Amino acid sequence: MKKSIKGGNFFEKKGLLRIVGAHDGLSAKLVELNGFDGVWASGLEISASYAVPDASILTMSQYLERACEIRDAVTLPVIADCDTGYGNSNNTIYMVKKYEAAGITGVCIEDKKFPKVNSLLDDGRQELAPIAEFVGKIMAAKNARISKDFLVIARVEALIAGWGEEEALLRAEKYAEAGADAILIHSKSKAPGEVLSFAEKWQKKVPLVLVPTTYPSIMDECTDEELLEKGVKMVIFANQGMRSSIKALNLTLREMKKTGGISGIEDKIAPLGEIFDLQGLTDLRHEEKKFLRSEHGDVTVIIPAAGKPNHQGSMEPLLRDRPVCMIDINGKSILERGLDILDGMKFGEINVIVGYEKKKALESLAGKKARFIHNSEYEKKHILHSFMLAGKDTSDRTLMVYSDILFDRALIEKVLKQKHDIVLVGDSTYTRFGHRNKKLELISVREKMSPGRRSLGEGMVMDVARIGKNVDERTAAFEFVGIAYFSAKGIRAFKRAYSKVIKSPERKKKFHEAVDISKASFTDMVQELIDGDVPVKVMPVNSGWMEVHSFEDYNFACSRIKDRG
């Protein structure tokens, strides 16, 4: 976040101040991004943006609303063009209170009669207010302000109205005496001579402000130092921004009308990304991450999907060029289906670790809300390594879901409700029979299980004793579904145990069922935790998920899942 310089006396800032006209948040933001000293909430621009004349048509509230919009969009000081003060001294008092309270740096009021017309209008009705009346307004404005840093700039319109330099000097003198912090000497002369002559005679009584719209050469003819030397503290480039956008917009619209299309203009207009940046979308994303809480916002999901399928069996034709998670079930891959369910649950972050056929995976998952992490060594480093590529960054509740299973939302909801630190989902109806393309990851529990009583009560969890492909089928009570839940404490324990193994000299040795830690499966690390007396629970389920291990499974899944998503 940029440092605010709205506070303090703007005129105490060193050097010649260049402020630029704007009419809304966006135009003001562009002024700031281009490095100017402040923003001029221009009456001409604001009224033009409503497509009404700059002739006191809009009300004070409308101008103030825009000034606030501008103030909110930038950290720069904002000087508001307040025309004649919107009426007499009573209106001016109210106006100063409102603008100061709104955090505007200063106001500029002009000595014309209300209602005014724009000063640069050819043959404009330029009626000057009596000096005394305007002096009263300046005094009222000064009296109404609270901070001495709130600037009241008096704008002398005598040169605009054709009343001559003497009148201009007299008025400036009176307004300075009344307490004006600066004099804006306005001129519509085509050359800078008129204002330079005024400045010469003014003798720096209070700082001068210029609006060189009609005499732009002054900025080429005089250096900043020369202008400062003549008593000019600030120049206002009042309307060039709006004029440039009108021209650009017209060119684009004309081209669109002429061609009947939009392809020819694409490289002449700002990319959409620039709009998003100007809107502050980056900040919004950052803040959303921090503050937009949802029920599962503190849960990080990790889906390891990097591995190459090995035991293909009857699945061979389906798996020739893709991992299991990419198998298409009625128009959507298994993993896409999983991601759609998880996305709907508003998790903090969903990480998918890709490796084998990475390009295909990324193409098919384009547009899915997930962080994709590449396990470039997927052939040498297996699922535990993939898990830890994302797991190393998480300290919140974590959900691990295998990429090759189909599951219901209700199953995930259920495991997230568990109060234990590490909970695996185990299927209690697994069968030792049937064709499979791989060995199942089985779970045995500490509790005594009587045969034929595998269907257990809701919410009843048990202590895992052993997990892995080598667990004896006769003692196994569950098949590991491929869904594991960790509380913040649980994931810390898991990470601690992992880093201990990784750092130990034993890391090249056999690690549970794996030849070493790099080839370890997720379940090997769970066994390591159990052996280290970290409690691991299994939550029994008997429905709500399925895996595709065989061609039969595939046909079954296709017949069960009807939607084409």
Residues annotated catalytic, as ranges: 54
List the one residue from 32, 37, 69, 81 that touches ligand SPV (CB under 6 A): 81
Judged by beta carbon distances under 5 to 8 A according to partner kind, the member of ligand SPV, Mg ion, none in contact with residue 49 is none
Do 334 and 327 meet the contact criterion of CB atoms below 8 Å apart? yes
Which of 32, 37, 69, 81 is the binder for Mg ion (CB under 5 A)?
A: 81
45 binds Mg ion (CB under 5 A): no
Minimum CB–partner distance for residue 81 and Mg ion (Å): 4
Q: According to CB under 5 A, which one of 21, 25, 38, 43 is a site residue for Mg ion?
A: 43
CA torsion sign, 215 to 216 to 221 to 225? positive
Helices (H), 102-181: 131-144, 164-177
**Distance, CA of 384 to CA of 402 (rounded, Å):** 11
Instruction: Tell me which stretch binds ligand SPV (CB under 6 A): 116-124, 291-299, 473-481, 531-539.
Output: 116-124
Indicate which single residue of 42, 105, 394, 437 sits in contact with ligand SPV (rule: CB under 6 A).
Answer: 42
Contact status: 239 vs ligand SPV (CB under 6 A): yes
d(CA 152, CA 9): 12
Which helix (DSSP H) or strand (DSSP E) does residue 491 occupy?
helix 488-503
CB 46 within 8 A of CB 242: no
As measured in angstroms, the least distance from the Cβ of 216 to ligand SPV is 12
Kindly state the number of chain residues that form the binding site for Mg ion, as judged by CB under 5 A.
2
* Shortest distance (Å) from residue 234 CB to ligand SPV: 13
Coil vs helix vs strand at 56: coil
Q: Closest CB to ligand SPV among 199 and 238?
A: 238
Q: How many residues bind ligand SPV (CB under 6 A)?
A: 13
DSSP per position, 1-38: -PPP--SS-GGGSSS-EEEEEESSHHHHHHHHHTT-SE
69 contacts which partner out of Mg ion, ligand SPV, none, CB within 5 to 8 A by kind? none
Query: Which residue from 529, 496, 501 is spatially nearest to 517, judged by alpha carbons?
Result: 501
Helix or strand (DSSP H, E) at 530: helix 522-531
**Between 56 and 119, CB nearer to ligand SPV:** 119
Across 45-72, b (16+ Cβ under 10 Å) vs e yields: bbbbbeeeebbbebebeebbebbbbbbe
Sign of the alpha-carbon torsion through 181, 182, 184, 185: positive
- In the complex, what is the shortest distance from the CB of residue 240 to ligand SPV, in angstroms, rounded to a whole number? 10
Measured in Å, how far apart are the chain's first and last C-alpha atoms?
Answer: 42
Cβ 464 vs Cβ 443: under 8 Å: yes
Query: Which residue carries 């649980």 as its tokens?
Result: 490
* Length of the chain, in residues: 565
Percent of residues in the chain assigned helix, strand, coil, to nearest 5: 40, 20, 40
Does 279 sit near ligand SPV (CB under 6 A)? no
Q: According to CB under 6 A, which residues from 379 to 398 bind ligand SPV?
A: none
> 95 CB contacts (<8 Å, ≥6 apart)?
60, 82, 85, 86, 107, 141
* 126 lines the binding site for ligand SPV (CB under 6 A): no
**Encoded tokens for 176:** 């300075």
CB of 42 to ligand SPV, least distance (A): 3
Measured from the CB atom, the residue of 43 and 304 that comes closer to Mg ion is: 43
Report the residue number, 174 or 186, with the smaller CB distance to ligand SPV.
Answer: 186
Q: Which positions from 398 to 437 touch ligand SPV by CB under 6 A, shown as an x/- string? A: ----------------------------------------
Q: By CB under 6 A, which span of 112-120, 248-256, 504-512, 556-564 interacts with ligand SPV?
A: 112-120
Residue 119 in contact with ligand SPV, rule: CB under 6 A: yes
d(CA 426, CA 412): 13
Among 102, 117, 120, 488, which residue sits at the site for ligand SPV (rule: CB under 6 A)? Answer: 120
Identified binder of ligand SPV from the candidate list 211, 232, 424, 517, rule CB under 6 A: 211
> What is the Cα–Cα distance from 516 to 508, expressed in whole angstroms?
5
* Binding flags for ligand SPV, 8-37, as an x/- string (CB under 6 A): -------------x----------------
If binding is defined by CB under 6 A, does position 44 make contact with ligand SPV?
yes
Task: Tell me the closest approach of the beta carbon of residue 77 to ligand SPV, in angstroms.
Answer: 16
Member of 118, 197, 518, 550 binding ligand SPV (CB under 6 A)? 118
User: Using CB under 6 A, which of the segments 117-125, 370-378, 505-513, 539-547 binds ligand SPV?
Assistant: 117-125
Nearer to Mg ion (CB atom), residue 43 or residue 207? 43
Per-residue tokens: 189? 């002369």
Is residue 121 within the footprint of ligand SPV (CB under 6 A)? Answer: no
Q: Which residues contribute to the site for ligand SPV (CB under 6 A)?
A: 21, 42-44, 54, 81, 118-120, 211, 213, 238-239
Q: Which residues contribute to the site for Mg ion (CB under 5 A)?
A: 43, 81
